[in-house]
Structures are given as structure tokens and as C-alpha cells.
């Protein structure tokens, strides 16, 4: 059982993944509910997609932990949980009276996970948001085109990326518990998680000490890793090239491996470049990456991206079309793999969400809708904690739930 005291995205993304993996996740919300139930609503008066897509397969209870009775009930919930997860501001749970030491007294076997914006130090009290974490974790400084401003990525690496890191720590602590019998504290910072995902840029920062980075398309280098557009940044150069008819997502990302140069030269109508000493080797092509992708693009702009994809794959050239969000939500293969899933909701009707990306042979996942606010108060408080129906009514009247 997971006691889910999280809100917004970083925490709920972690506990949703645990729920998909089979945990009984009990989402504890203040009587007003997770703020994302009301944010970015597309249908008036019902839970937003922001909430529904981060809280699948969970049960919901409400509890005012600022009341004495609320804190007593929270104590009971901690005592019967295997994992507790929170992503409040620094010190918020401590101020409720539930320090790590107190939580250990209540339940020595519990794994207590916290997601914060930053680790201990000068940034500890900073408010953390997705793009703030990207800014301070190395992502924004290295994203964008040379000469342009730093850019955020559309992937939620600060929030959901941190959630995945938290799940790894929680599962490790649960496994360790099978040997020690004790729970432990798991702490993950959004800045740290983003930096972990940006490690190749930290690699390149150190490589700069030995001269310019040849695989980057940039002409000028300072003492910092530059923004390099769509360059792969790896051992094999890559770039997003335009395709017909020239719409905003009519692009294919192409990677040029040594073995792929000969068939690619044929495809783009320059077979002579396969044997030309000025082009034939990766070392010869590195100083001319911009020209190389220009030649490729002269070919790709003459046909649609799906035709380009077909031709490149026929010659085993690594590539991928730039898929728009509309193309992704309509993609039949993603639906067949249950990573794009339709779910029925009693108030908003059918909506589409992302399914479990982790596929376990003996533990298939069925995606269930997110819970309504306090939908499981009776089940958990009466059936599981043993409160009477009269007390439940009293708690509701007193504003405890």
C-alpha cells in the first residue's frame, strides 16, 4: 500500500507508476482536492485532464491534516502503509508533526519518499516548477539553436522525469526491506533528476578542455557547451530534415552511420560521394555536417515524410518521423501497445491517456480512470480503518474529511 500525499505532477506521476505496477495507491487529498483537479479545465465542473492523466488506478480519500483528529487518522494510515510519498514544500510534513523520526516510530517498515525541487543548500527554499528544474539542471542552457535563447523541452523531465527517479528509489528501498526488515528515507530533487538526464552535456563540458566538439555543427566554441539545435550530440551525427509539403511537423530525423553513407548517397542522388575521399569517411564528413544535411534535405523536401521513412528504413538507415501530438494520439501501433489508451469517466465521459510504458510478462496493466474526490472515503475509513458510519458523518460535519 502506498499513502500518496502528492499533488500537481512530480509526485502523482511517481505514485501513478506504482499503481500501474500493482500497488494499492491511496491518494490523500485536502477536502478541497488536488489543485490540478481544477486547473486547465476543458469541461466545466469536472476534473481536468491534468488531474485525470496523472492519477489513474488510485483510490481517493479526503483528510484535513491540520485538525487533531485528522492527524490521528493520518497516524493510522501511516501505520498500515508500506510506502508514503509526498512532494510538499520543504518542511511541510515536519510541521504537521510527522518528522522522519516520528514516522519511523509509527511504522519502522515504511519507505518514506520525498520529492523536492532542490537538495540541501542555497536553493533549498526555492519554489520548483518544471521549467525551473530544466533551467537549473542543465537542460535549457543546452537546448535551442546557436545564437538563440535557451529553450525548454516539451518533455516533462523536471516533473515526470523526477517521478520516475523516485519510483526507482522506492522500489530499491522496498527490496532492501526484504533483507533488513526496515524501511528507509528516499529523497529525490528535481534539479538532480534533470541533471542526471543531461549527463552527456556534462560529459561534453569536460571534453571542451581538449578543444572544439567536432560532432557539433557549431563553428565557434567558448568554455561552455553550446546550444546545437537538433544535432544528436552523440557518436553518430543526426539532424531533422524537412519533407514535403513543408508543414510544421513535416520532418524526419536522420542519423548518418558509417555503414549508411553509401546507400544514403545513392538515395539523395549523389552516388559519387560514397567514394569521394572528401566525403567517404566519418572523419571527412564531420567538418561538413551542415552541408551534408543540406544535401539530404534537398532530397527529402521532394517527398512526404512517410515516403522518406520508407526509403530510409529499406536501407537500414536510422530515422524517425517527427510525430505531432495529433499523429501520436491517433497512432494505431501506440493504441495496440496500450500506451495510448481510452478511459471512461463517470463525469467527463471518455478521454485519452498515456498507458504504462513498463511491460511485465506476468503483470499486465489495465488502466483505470482517476478517482473522484473522496470517492473511497467510506471504503477506507469505515471498511478498512473500522470507523463507524456515525463517526464518518461526524468527520464530514466537522470538516475533518
Residues with a known catalytic role:
159
CA distances from 76 to 71, 106, 122, 257, 273 (A): 9, 8, 36, 59, 73
Cell representation of residue 226: 553550446
Unique residue bearing C-alpha cell 489543485: 35
Cell representation of residue 100: 522522519
Nearest CA-CA partner of 276 in 262, 293, 257: 262
Cell representation of residue 44: 466545466
374's enclosing H/E stretch is none
HSE (side-chain half, CA atoms, 13 Å) at 288 = 15
The Cβ of residue 79 has, within 10 Å, a number of other Cβ atoms equal to: 12
DSSP 369: P
Output the CA angle 103-194-132, nearest 5 degrees: 90
Q: Rounded distance, CA 355 to CA 339, Å?
A: 4
Q: Rounded distance, CA 162 to CA 155, Å?
A: 12
The Cβ of residue 52 has, within 10 Å, a number of other Cβ atoms equal to: 21
Amino acid at each position: 500500500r502506498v499513502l500518496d500525499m502528492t499533488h500537481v505532477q512530480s509526485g502523482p506521476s511517481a505514485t501513478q507508476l506504482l499503481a500501474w505496477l500493482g500497488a494499492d495507491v491511496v491518494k490523500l487529498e485536502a477536502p478541497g482536492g488536488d489543485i490540478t483537479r481544477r486547473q486547465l479545465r476543458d469541461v466545466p465542473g469536472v476534473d481536468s485532464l491534468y488531474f485525470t492523466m496523472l492519477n489513474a488506478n488510485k483510490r481517493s480519500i479526503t483528510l484535513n491534516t491540520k485538525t487533531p483528529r485528522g492527524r490521528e487518522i493520518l497516524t493510522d494510515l501511516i501505520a498500515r502503509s508500506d510506502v508514503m510519498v509526498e512532494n510538499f514544500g520543504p518542511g511541510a510534513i515536519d510541521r504537521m508533526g510527522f518528522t522522519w523520526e516520528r514516522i519511523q516510530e509509527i511504522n519502522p517498515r515504511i519507505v518514506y519518499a520525498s520529492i523536492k525541487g532542490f537538495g540541501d543548500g542555497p536553493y533549498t527554499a526555492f519554489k520548483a516548477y518544471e521549467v525551473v528544474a530544466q533551467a537549473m539542471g542543465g537542460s535549457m542552457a543546452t537546448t535551442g539553436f546557436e545564437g538563440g535563447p535557451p529553450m525548454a523541452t516539451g518533455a516533462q523531465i523536471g516533473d515526470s522525469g523526477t517521478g520516475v527517479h523516485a519510483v526507482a528509489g522506492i522500489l530499491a528501498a522496498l527490496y532492501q526491506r526484504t533483507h533488513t526488515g526496515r524501511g528507509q528515507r528516499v529523497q529525490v530533487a528535481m534539479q538532480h533528476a534533470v541533471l542526471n538526464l543531461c549527463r552527456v552535456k556534462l560529459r561534453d563540458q569536460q571534453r571542451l578542455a581538449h578543444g572544439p566538439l567536432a560532432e557539433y555543427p557549431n563553428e565557434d566554441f567558448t568554455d561552455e557547451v553550446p546550444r546545437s539545435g537538433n544535432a544528436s550530440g552523440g557518436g553518430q551525427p543526426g539532424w531533422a530534415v524537412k519533407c514535403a509539403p513543408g508543414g510544421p511537423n513535416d520532418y524526419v530525423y536522420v542519423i548518418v552511420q558509417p555503414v549508411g553513407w553509401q546507400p544514403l548517397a545513392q538515395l539523395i542522388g549523389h552516388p559519387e560521394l560514397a567514394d569521394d575521399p572528401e566525403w567517404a569517411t566519418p572523419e571527412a564528413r564531420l567538418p561538413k555536417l551542415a552541408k551534408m544535411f543540406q544535401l539530404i534535405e534537398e532530397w527529402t523536401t521532394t517527398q512526404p515524410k512517410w515516403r522518406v521513412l520508407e526509403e530510409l528504413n529499406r536501407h537500414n538507415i536510422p530515422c524517425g518521423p517527427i510525430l505531432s501530438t495529433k499523429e501520436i494520439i491517433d497512432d494505431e501501433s501506440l493504441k495496440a501497445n496500450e500506451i495510448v489508451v481510452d478511459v471512461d469517466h463517470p463525469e467527463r465521459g471518455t478521454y485519452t491517456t498515456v498507458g504504462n510504458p513498463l511491460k511485465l510478462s506476468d503483470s499486465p496493466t489495465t488502466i483505470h480512470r482517476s478517482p473522484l474526490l473522496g470517492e473511497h472515503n467510506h471504503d477506507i475509513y469505515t471498511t478498512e480503518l473500522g470507523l463507524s458510519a456515525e463517526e464518518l458523518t461526524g468527520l464530514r460535519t466537522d470538516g475533518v474529511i
